[in-house]
Structure 1
Amino acid sequence: MNDTTPAAGAPQRCGLVAIVGRPNVGKSTLMNALVGQKISITSNKAQTTRHRITGIRTRGPAQFVFVDTPGFQDKHAAALNRTLNRTVLSSLGDVDVVLFVVEAGRFGQPDAKVLALLQAESMQGKPVLLVANKLDTLARRQDVLPWLKQMQERQAFAEFVPMSATREADVERLLGIVEPYLPQQPWLYEEDALTDRSERFLAGELIREKLFRLTGDELPYACTVVIEKFEEEGNLRRIAASIVVERDAHKGMVIGEGGERLKRIGSEARQELERLWDAKVFLELWVKVRSGWADDEAHLRSYGYE
């Protein structure tokens, strides 16, 4: 969406902006706020974002191409985690600007490991902006000032942006801060583009979001969604999807007593997809057990992990 009118003769700017940070720091919420529409799924479960998601915002003469990345993983060595980390590293290689997202007033070992990636030789010369998110959760906002001074000693950040991704004014301010760092070059996408991901991909992601939200901490992270069928018939989408888990016990968690949980996952996903696309959606869900899929490179590739 182009939500401001460019000044006459203003040069076009366009650049790739990576959003990086530890798991559960609010990267996907920030991405959706920056784009102005839900592109990346969110939940309280770690590893919700598993793919490189591109969100596009055109604002006046500037086109921001935001890249939401998985949270960098340092607790498990399974193939899935290695794949997620490769996605983070490959995303950093070709971006113009990096938004390093942390929680305002907090900086722990997982944050330090992400910062170490940004201090690598391959990243030298790229502007890194520190986004101190969740500012609204601080009891005393003045406490953020000494913390910011400590952060400046860790890294010469190009900018410090204390903010809350849930406040529209903060999001607009961040866009204004990022814009001068975008290279002067033609836009990569159409003016009204929002993402480069397909409807099929977004369907799988939204089903997975409902799966995570409705199972809470009961279900281990080793589950995914595979779209088996995606058909368009005018204003109707027919979708068949499988939820893949590692054990029979996990299958029971997803289905729930009398199949109620699976029905709710399907119902909530269908309703959100209908709102997103302004279309009618017919959604069928199954649950399949694939033992060890999260540590099997061939399975990961077949399920769409890069």
Structure 2
Amino acid sequence: MDKTTANGPGERHEGFRSGFVSFVGRPNAGKSTLTNALVGQKVAITSSKPQTTRHVVRGIVHRPDAQLVLIDTPGLHRPRTLLGERLNDLVQETWAEVDVIGVCLPSDQRVGPGDKYLLGEILKLRRVPELVAIATKSDLVGPTRLGEHLLSIQKLEEEIGLTWQHIVPVSATEGHQVDVVADCLIDRLPEGPAYYPDGDVTDEPTERLVGELIREAALDSVREELPHSIVVTVEEMGLREGRPEDKPLVDVFANLIVERESQKGIMIGHRGSHLREVGQAARRQIGALLGTPVHLDLRVKVLKEWQRDAKHLNRLGF
């Protein structure tokens, strides 16, 4: 067997690198889109709505010489609820355990106080991981603006007192320089074993992935006041019995939970029109994930002030 390959978890070969990388950045900095591009398939939901990511999502990149475990975390933000506080704690716990932090700084936005605050919080860690600056969304700007952006990122070294191991622009949506980002991250990893078997792209339970795809479909079509209030629970999921082997069907029974009765009305829409749209969009994504046609039974329920209630948060897995 070639010394630079690894076939399973725990195996270690000379020169093989492995480790954990966390992507950080302000909300909507392109962290989840970049995670999906590096993994090569969708493991994290994406949305233009802030605070889309609500838990740690691991995406696994396999190469003959390395295994890169990407950890997409919620964006660090000023918390207004108990949920927000718990998400911030989750982010900082993750930072303390990774080998490298990839700081996502979108090219279509100026480096601002929010970015500097985020970096300041990283520098407060007892052990600061190695830092790689990633200028995301490079396709949205011209060469001159991109050059200015890269220069402002470089200047952060003096302004804040940090050291970038690499500064690399990338367009995850167009696939431009995605491999270069992978090279830069793997370059900073220690030698070590493969943590996951070949072929694994995430350690997310299928039910959670399905729930997140439903939430993504809901987020894409609601007003600004609703996104934070939406959570999805998958109550039951499985192959329908009695179907021919060549015509399988997966039944998914899920609840789309909001905080107030008025939000329930918005989510359902006139005569159920909005909920049907959400269900149709989610069904397509779930079918693509499972490789099987899906019947989705989606209900809207109200759980008052769930973001502020410790018992509700515990029951919902936060």
Same fold (TM over 0.5): yes
Aligned to 1:172: 179
Quote the offset at 1:7 in angstroms. 7.5
The residue identity in structure 2 corresponding to 1:160 is I
- Structure 1 ranges of 4+ moved more than 6 A: none
Aligned alpha-carbon RMSD (Å) = 1.9
**Displacement, 1:275?**
1.1
Aligned match of 1:29:
33
Counterpart in 2 of 1:262?
275
Kept in 1, the 8 Å contact 2:219–2:227? The answer is: no
**8 A Cα contact 1:241 1:286, kept in partner:** yes
Q: What's 2:61 paired with?
A: 57
1:84 to 81, 87, 106: 87
Shift of 1:236: 3.2
Asked whether 1:292 is paired with 2:296, we answer no
SS at match of 1:99: strand
Structure 1 gaps, min length 5: none
2: CA distance, partners of 1:220 / 1:11: 45
Unaligned runs of 5+ in 2: 7-12
Aligned AA (1:87): L
Distance 2:43 2:190 in 1: 24
2:224 corresponds to which letter in structure 1?
Answer: D
2:228 corresponds to 1:221: yes
**Structure 2 counterpart of 1:207:** 214
TM-score (norm 1): 0.92
**TM-score normalised according to structure 2 size:** 0.89
Separation in 2, partners of 1:110, 1:263: 38
- Cα pair distance change 1:264/1:6, threshold 3 Å: farther
Contact 1:164 1:170 in 2 (8 A): yes
Match for residue 151 of structure 1 among 147, 152, 156: 156
- Distance across 2 between alignment mates of 1:27 and 1:209: 15
**Could you tell me how far 1:217 is from its partner in structure 2?**
2.3
Identity percentage of aligned residues: 35
CA displacement 1:51-88 (0-9 Å, x = unmatched):
100000101220010000001111x3311101111110
* Residue aligned with 2:44, SS: coil
**1:180-211 CA-partner distances (Å, limit 9, x unpaired):** 21121110001111000011010000000001
| Residue in 1 that maps onto 2:19 | 15
Assess if the C-alpha contact under 8 Å between 2:23 and 2:31 holds in 1: yes
Cα offset, 1:220, TM superposition: 4.5
Deviations 1:86-121 (A, max 9, x none): 110111121111101112362222222211221014
- How many pairs align? 299
Q: Which moved further from structure 2: 243-252 or 133-142?
A: 133-142
